[in-house]
Amino acid sequence: MHSAVPARHVLGRPVVYRLGTRFIGRLPRAVAYWGGARIADISYLFCTVARNNVKRNLRRALPHLDERGIAALALSTFRNYSGYLVDYGVFKGLDAASLARVLRNNEGDRHVDRAVKRGRGIIVLTVHIGNWELGGIYFAKRGLKINVVTAAEGVPEIDELKREYRRKHNINTVILGDSPFSTIELLAALKRGEVVAMLVDRYGAGQSGAVVADFFDRPCNFPKGPLLLAKMTGAVILPAVVIKEAGVYRSIIGGPVELDETDDAAFETCAREILKSFEATIRLYPDQWYNFVEV
């Protein structure tokens, strides 16, 4: 969790996002996946920094694997990410019926239902695994107003592409640092019973408002913001991911994480519980963990 704005590799540049959201979705799905995988193979060969970062992350998550196994998973990660970009384009115009076809066997829906009945808002925390954008669509299609909190990409064109993409699914984007009133906006959303969602596996060491907790047996920075929001509003914290299996996605929504106190020890315990749930998922689906920076 060294950098909130990772260095750009070839699969994360504006031109790729434009292709993914505007053109790839028009191609036959098999052709799009094949072409994306070939671009991924090339980027794996030539994007040395991104490749090495992926390998470092995989070694932390799976220390029992030898270098051949790590290399195979790293290549699979690049290819799976290209598939994510293809799906990103395909899902641009997703309706409720199409969502039901691609997002199946959801786990933990009962946690969402209980949180909705509580009426104090929901804070959904996730990591860069599977298809986190589809997670936002999942909540929106359930009739819940969702606010996605994100750091600026460092490339305005990508920021706007993502904002436009989410807007089509009635998802509000709150970019941290965009406005001094962003925290007030999130508080108000939770008090209205809405969903606030954010990624927590790239919180930079130089950023303020962090709590230190272990992630794969190494101290890392976890954002204190969502924990403070939960304490201030009574919102339910739910760790959640959307992963891909056999060509379809499924959401995995964990049980509520309770925060009883507001001291550093309580924050660390809560952060550790959340990260521990993500560790288990990453170990099961390591080649869907799309961090091209070292975490």
For the chain, give every domain's residue range. Answer: 10-92, 94-286
Q: 95-99, 198-202, 262-266, 286-290 — which one is most confidently predicted on average?
A: 286-290
Least confident of 10-24, 91-105, 218-232: 10-24
Q: How many Å separate Cα 52 from the centre of its chain?
A: 21
Output the pTM of the full model. 0.86
Q: Which residue has the higher pLDDT, 197 or 246?
A: 197
Is residue 11's pLDDT more than 60?
A: no
For the cut 70, the answer to whether the pLDDT of residue 156 exceeds it is no
Q: What is the pLDDT of residues 222-245, one digit of tens each?
A: 999 999 999 999 999 999 999 999
Q: List, edge to edge, every strand of the sheet that includes 146-151.
A: 171-176, 146-151, 195-199, 122-126, 236-245, 248-253
pLDDT tier, 259 (very low <50, low <70, confident <90, very high otherwise): confident
For position 153, what pLDDT does the model report?
Answer: 59
Does the CA dihedral 7-169-134-147 come out positive or negative? Answer: positive
Q: Residue ranges of the alpha helices (H) in the chain?
A: 14-18, 29-46, 48-61, 67-90, 96-102, 109-118, 132-141, 156-167, 182-191, 225-233, 264-284
